[in-house]
Structure 1
Amino acid sequence: MLSLYIHIPFCKKKCSYCDFFIAPVDKIDEKKTFIGKYNKSLLNQIDYYSKIFANEKIKTIYFGGGTPLLLGKENIFNIINNLLENFDLSNCEEINFELNPDPFDEVLDFIDSFNKTYFNFFRIRYSFGIQSLNDEVLKYTNRNYYYNTLISFIRTLTDYKQVNNVFNFDFIAFGAIDDFGNWLPDYKKKFLSDFIFSGFADSFSIYTLELFPGSVMYSNYTSNNEKVYQEFDNFKKILMNSGYKRYEISNFEISGKRSLHNMIYWNMGQYLGLGMGASSFLYRDYADQIFKKLNTEIKAVRFENTKNWKFFFENKFYDYKNIFEMKKNDLLVDKFFMGLRTKEGLQNFEKFDDVLVENWQDIKKELEINNFMKTKDGRTFLKSKGMDVYNDIISKFLKYI
C-alpha cells in the first residue's frame, strides 16, 4: 500500500518563521493562470504515477502546503475524483487537509462541502494552523488574523464537525514569555484551558520554534530556547492534565484520534510526494518501478520533486540531485531516528546494534534508571521526560545521523 502527500505551495504571504517551499500569491501576477498551470501539472503527475502503480491501494492522503485551499475548492475536488478513478481508495483510512483560519468563511464552506460530497471516507482530518493566541506574535510572524477572529472561528467550528471528522489544532511555542513565566494573559489562558478541557479538539500539534535558512526570522531574530521550551512545557501540562495522551514528541491525542498519515512517516511506511518540492519514500520493490535497475544493496529510496517552476510545468517532476539510495544501515538509522519519536518506540532495540555506539547498552540502562526511557515486552520507548530531550538522547546513541 501507498500513502500520498500532495503539496500545494501557495500562501497569501510567507510567514516570517517559514522556510518551506511556498510561493506567496500576493507576489504573483496572473494568479489564476499560474495556479491553473500548477494544478494541470499536478494532475499530470498523478496520471504519470497511476500508470506505474495502476490500481494501487491507497492507505492515507494528505494535502499540505502552503495553504492547500488556495488551489481552489473545485480543483481539490477534481484531484480527489482523479485519485478515485486511478487508484484504489476503498480502504483509505484517512484524508487530511491543512487549513488556515483565514478567511474563515471559505474554510467553513470547504469543510461543509467536503463533508457532504465525500462523506464515505472513513476519516476526514482537518488540521487548523492556529499557531498562537498572542496578537503580537501573530502580527510579527505575518499571520492574517488576531485572537478575537480565532475565537469566533473556533466557536463557529462546532456547527461543522461530523462523526467521521478529526479536528487537529496546530500551535507553535514561540517563547513569548514574560519574567513571571506567562505567555498569555489570564483571560486567554482561561479560554485555552476551557477549550482544551472541553474535548472538542481531537488532537493538538505543539511545535517548538526552530528557525532555518530561508525564513525571514532566521537572520533577524534571536530565539530564547529556554523560554521556547518553557512555553511548550506549559502547553503540554494543560493538555496532559486534560486527558490528552502524548503519542509523538509534538503531538497529543484523545485516544484513537492520532494522525494516521503522520504515523506512516514515523513507522517508515511508503509514501509518494505529489507536487513541487514534495518528498517520497519507497522500499526497493516499489522504487525499482520508477528508478530501474537499482543496485542490489539498495533497500529503499528517498527522493524529492523539483522546485523549479519551469521544469514542473513541463512535467519534469524529479530533482535528480536529491535522490538518496538507502542501504541497510541508512535504513536502520532512519528507523531508529523516527521510531523513538513515538510513544510505541522500537521493537528489539538490539537489532540497531550496527548503527549504535559501542556502549549503547550502558547508555540505555542509565536512561532507564533515570526515568527517561523504558523497555516493556521487548519494546523500548521514551517516556514523556525523555521525549522532551529527544535530540540529546538520539545523539548519544547513534554513530552518525
Structure 2
Amino acid sequence: MTKTDLGIYVHIPFCVRKCDYCDFVSMVGSPDEQAYYIRVLKKEIRSFEALGNLYLVRTVFFGGGTPSITDVSQLERIMEQLKEQYEFAEDAEITIECNPGTLTEEKLVRYKEMGINRLSIGLQSTHNEELKVLGRIHSYEDFLESYRLARKVGFTNINVDLMTALPGQSVEAWEDVLRTVVALAPEHISAYSLSIEEGTPFYERYGSTKGRLLLPKESEDRQMYRLTKEILGEAGYRRYEISNYAKKGKECRHNITYWNGGEYVGFGLGASSYLGGKRFSNPRDKQEYWEFARNAYHHYKELTPQDQKATMEEFMFLGLRMMDGISMREFEEKFHVPFTEVYGTPVRRMVTQGYLEEDGNRLRFTDKGIDVSNQLLVEFLL
C-alpha cells in the first residue's frame, strides 16, 4: 500500500518571556509544568497511533513558543514516540525553532543525534535597540554565538527569522539588517512585516491612530519590502513564498506542505491539522487541552470533512502565496470542474489589471499583485 506523505507539527508553548508583539499560544512555564505538558502531549500523539501505517513522515517541525528552552531529554522522548508510530522518509526534514541565548554546544549535538537537521533561529533584528523595543531577551551578540555554535556542530541548514516595519525603524536601518545577515550566509531567510495584534502589549501602544504614527509609513514599509527582494536576490536567495527566501534546494519543505495543501497533523496546545480532508485545531486554553488531548483521535474521527467550496478557496489562498502560484490543471483534476467556470471572472479581471499572470497552465501574482495580495485574495471567496 502506498503511504500518504505527512508533515508533523509539535507545539512547545514555553518561553523565557513572552514578547510584546506575540499573539501565539505561548507562556512562561516552570520545569514541572513543562514536564507535565510533555506527558500530555505524548498521550495526544499516542491517541493517533491507528493512523501510523497510512502515512510516511516527510517533515517534522518543533515550533512554539521557544522549543529550545525545553529539556532535550523531553524532546528526545517525543521523537522516539513519533518514530515508533510512523515510518520516516530517509531524507525527512526535521526542524526546531530556537531563540538566541538558549542554545549550548551540548544541546545542539543532541539535536543532531535525535535527527534534527534544520534550525530556525528567531533573530528578528541585528540592532540591539530594536530587539529591546520588541521585548526580545537576546542581543545580536547572543545570536552570533548561537549561530557559531550551530555551524561548529555541523548544522548546514539554518533559517534566520527577521522582522521589518518595527517602531522607529528606518529604511536604512532595515537595509543594514539585511546586509549583515546576508554576510553570514544562512541557507534560508524569513522576513515578515510586523503585525499589530489585539490582546498584545504592542496593540496597546501602537493599535490606535496615534500609536500607528510611531510605526514606519506605508510607503516606507513598501520600500523595505522591495529592498528585501532586491538584496536577497542579489545574494542568491530565491523568493519562493511571499515572505520566504532560500538558497537552491533549501526551501522549508514543512511550510510548503501547508501552502500546497498537503496533509499534516499538529500536536500540542492550539496546534492545527489538515488530515483526511478534515481541518481542525486543538484548544488554546491549557485546562481544555489537558482534557482534549487524551481523546484527541476520537475528536478527529467525529469531524466531518470540509466541503469542496472551502477546499477550493484554500487551494487558491495558500497556493497563490507561492511564487510559482497554482496549477489550473491540478485544480481541475482535484475538483473535477473547469477552472474558468469557478474563477474565470476574477482571474480575467486581475490579469487585465496586471495583478495576475498566466504561464502555461500556471497562475501567479505579479510583483504588483503581491504588494496588495491580502486585498486580492478575498476575490477568491465563493
Q: TM-score, normalised by structure 2?
A: 0.85
Equivalent-residue separation in structure 2 for 1:231 and 1:339 (angstroms) = 24
Is the CA contact 2:160–2:186 (under 8 Å) kept in the aligned structure 1? yes
* Aligned match of 2:363: 380
- 2:163 is aligned with 1:172: yes
Superposed, 1:2-401 pairs within 5 Å as 2-25=6-29, 31-54=30-53, 56-91=55-90, 93-105=92-104, 108-118=105-115, 124-162=117-155, 165-176=156-167, 181-183=171-173, 189=176, 192-193=178-179, 195-197=181-183, 200-221=185-206, 222=212, 223-226=215-218, 227-283=220-276, 300-314=277-291, 315-316=293-294, 325-348=305-328, 351-353=338-340, 356=343, 358-367=345-354, 372-395=355-378, 397-399=379-381
Distance 1:104 1:71, change over 3 A: closer
Say if 1:250 and 1:39 are closer, same or farther in 2 by CA, change over 3 A.
Answer: same
Deviation by residue 1:142-193 (Cα, 9 ceiling, x = unmatched): 111223333343344432334xx311100010344567x3225x9xx2x852
Unaligned runs of 5+ in 1: 26-30, 284-299
User: Do 1:93 and 1:260's aligned partners in 2 also have CA atoms closer than 8 Å?
Assistant: no
- Secondary structure in 1 aligned to 2:88? coil
Structure 1 residues 202 and 19, CA gap change in structure 2 (3 angstroms): same
Q: CA RMSD in A?
A: 2.8
Q: Which is helix-richer, 1 or 2?
A: 2
Distance 1:399 1:61, change over 3 A: closer
Please list every run of 5 or more consecutive structure 2 residues that lacks an aligned counterpart in the other structure: 207-211, 333-337
In the aligned structure 1, how far is the partner of 2:199 from the partner of 2:107? 31
> Do the aligned partners of 2:178 and 2:228 also contact (CA within 8 Å) in 1?
no
Deviation for aligned residue 1:20:
0.6
User: Structure 1 residues 376 and 74, CA, compared in 2 at 3 Å: closer, same or farther?
Assistant: same
Distance 1:276 1:178, change over 3 A: closer
- Following TM superposition, by how much is the alpha carbon of 1:359 offset from its aligned partner in structure 2, in angstroms? 4.7
Q: After TM superposition, give the deviation of residue 378 of structure 1 in Å.
A: 0.9
| Percent identity (aligned) | 28
2-structure distance, mates of 1:74, 1:359 = 52
TM-score between both structures, scaled by the size of structure 1: 0.81
How far apart are the structure 1 equivalents of 2:275 and 2:120?
26
Q: Is the 8 A contact 2:121 2:159 kept in 1?
A: yes
- Tell me: CA distance 1:254–1:331, structure 2 relative to 1, closer, same or farther (3 Å): same
- The aligned length equals 360
